[in-house]
Amino acid sequence: MKKINEILNHLPIPYDKIKVQRCLKLLIQGLPQHYKNNILYMYLKNETLYFVTKHQAINFELYQKLSDIKLMLNLIQKKMNRCKTIKVSNIKAFTSYTKKQKININHNIKFYLKNPKGDFKNLAKNEKIHQAFEEIRNIIKNK
pLDDT digits (tens, 9 = 90+) for 105-129: 666 666 666 777 778 888 889 999 9
**In the prediction, which pLDDT does 127 show?**
92
Judgement on whether residues 74 and 8 belong to the same structural domain of the protein: yes
Looking at the domain assignment, is residue 123 inside a domain?
yes
- 84 and 143 belong to one structural domain: no
Q: CATH no. for residue 41? A: 3.30.300
Given the DSSP bridges, would you call strands 39-45 and 90-95 parallel, antiparallel or unpaired? unpaired
State mean pLDDT over 98-107: 61
Mean pLDDT of 81-101: 77
Which has more confidence, 120 or 100?
A: 120
The pLDDT assigned to 128 comes to: 92
Considering the domain boundaries, does residue 44 fall inside one?
Answer: yes
My answer on whether 44 and 87 are in the same domain is yes
Q: Are residues 125 and 71 in the same domain?
A: no
- Same-domain check for residues 112 and 91: no
Instruction: Indicate if the pLDDT at residue 10 is higher than 70.
Output: no
Query: Is the domain of 70 the same as that of 112?
Result: no
Residues 88 and 120 occupy one common structural domain = no
Is residue 109 within a helix (H) or strand (E), and if so which, with residue range? none
Higher pLDDT, 16 or 137: 137
Residue 104: is its pLDDT beyond 70? no
Q: Is residue 103 part of a domain?
A: no
pLDDT in tens, 69-81: 888 888 888 887 7
Closest CA to 94 of 134, 63, 125, 138: 63
Please tell me whether residues 9 and 71 are part of one structural domain.
yes
Give whichever of 6-15, 45-54, 90-99 has the largest mean pLDDT. 45-54
**Residue 101 belongs to some domain of the structure:** no
Same domain for 13 and 83, yes or no, is: yes
Domain count, the chain: 2
Question: Which residues does 51 contact at the CB level (< 8 Å), separation at least 6?
Answer: 39, 42, 59, 62, 91, 92, 93, 94
**11-56: pLDDT as tens digits:** 655 556 777 788 888 888 888 888 888 888 888 888 888 888 888 8
Q: Does residue 120 sit in the same domain as residue 68? A: no
Residues 49, 82: one domain?
A: yes
Residue 128 structural domain: 108-143
